[in-house]
């Protein structure tokens, strides 16, 4: 099954709007998040899966639009696949990740 995707411009538009019906997940490592992050994203590093996986179902709603971010879009794609396997129905991978966001949307952001 293919995962839905949105580009960083679409992400920026969603972030401008009402975030009430949005779940934002950043799967990068904590040291990456320290360099640059987008406010409002829940940080769930893939390497810490064992620490957050159990409580995940109680914290997130499988029906709500869920946007997943990483550096370039590869790890977030893995997370999206996992979410779909967990029964999430409205998951989108942010193509290009925070790197594309920093170049195309928010040029003042730190890049790495």
Question: Would you call 80 a catalytic residue per the annotation?
Answer: no
- CA–CA distance, 92 with 68 (Å, rounded to integer): 6
Q: What is the tally of helices (H) and strands (E) in the chain?
A: 5, 5
* Candidate list 38, 70, 79, 80, residue with the active-site label: 70
103 to each of 34, 79, 97, 98, how far by Cα in Å?
18, 23, 10, 9
Region label for 96, one of left (φ > 0), alpha (ψ between -120 and 50) or beta (otherwise): left
For 8-64, what is each residue's pLDDT tens digit? Answer: 999 999 999 988 899 999 999 999 999 999 999 999 999 999 999 989 989 999 999
Local structure of 69: helix, strand or coil: strand
Query: Per-domain residue ranges for the chain?
Result: 4-104
What is the CATH T-level fold of the domain 4-104, as seen in this structure? Oxidized Rhodanese; domain 1 (3.40.250)
- With a cut of 70, say whether residue 1 has pLDDT above it: no
Measured between its terminal Cα atoms, the distance across the chain in Å is: 31
Cα dihedral sign, 16-22-28-29: positive
- With a cut of 80, say whether residue 99 has pLDDT above it: yes
């Amino acid at each position: 099954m293919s995962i839905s995707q949105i580009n960083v411009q679409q992400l920026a538009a969603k972030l401008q709007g009402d975030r009430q019906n949005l779940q934002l997940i950043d799967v990068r490592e904590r040291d990456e998040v320290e360099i640059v992050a987008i406010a409002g994203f829940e940080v769930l590093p893939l390497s810490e899966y064992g620490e957050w996986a159990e409580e995940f179902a109680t914290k997130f709603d499988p029906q709500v639009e869920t946007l997943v971010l990483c550096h370039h879009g590869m790890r977030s794609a893995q997370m999206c696949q996992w979410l779909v396997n967990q029964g999430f129905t409205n998951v989108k991978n942010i193509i290009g990740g925070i790197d594309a966001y920093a170049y195309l949307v928010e040029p003042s952001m730190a890049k790495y």
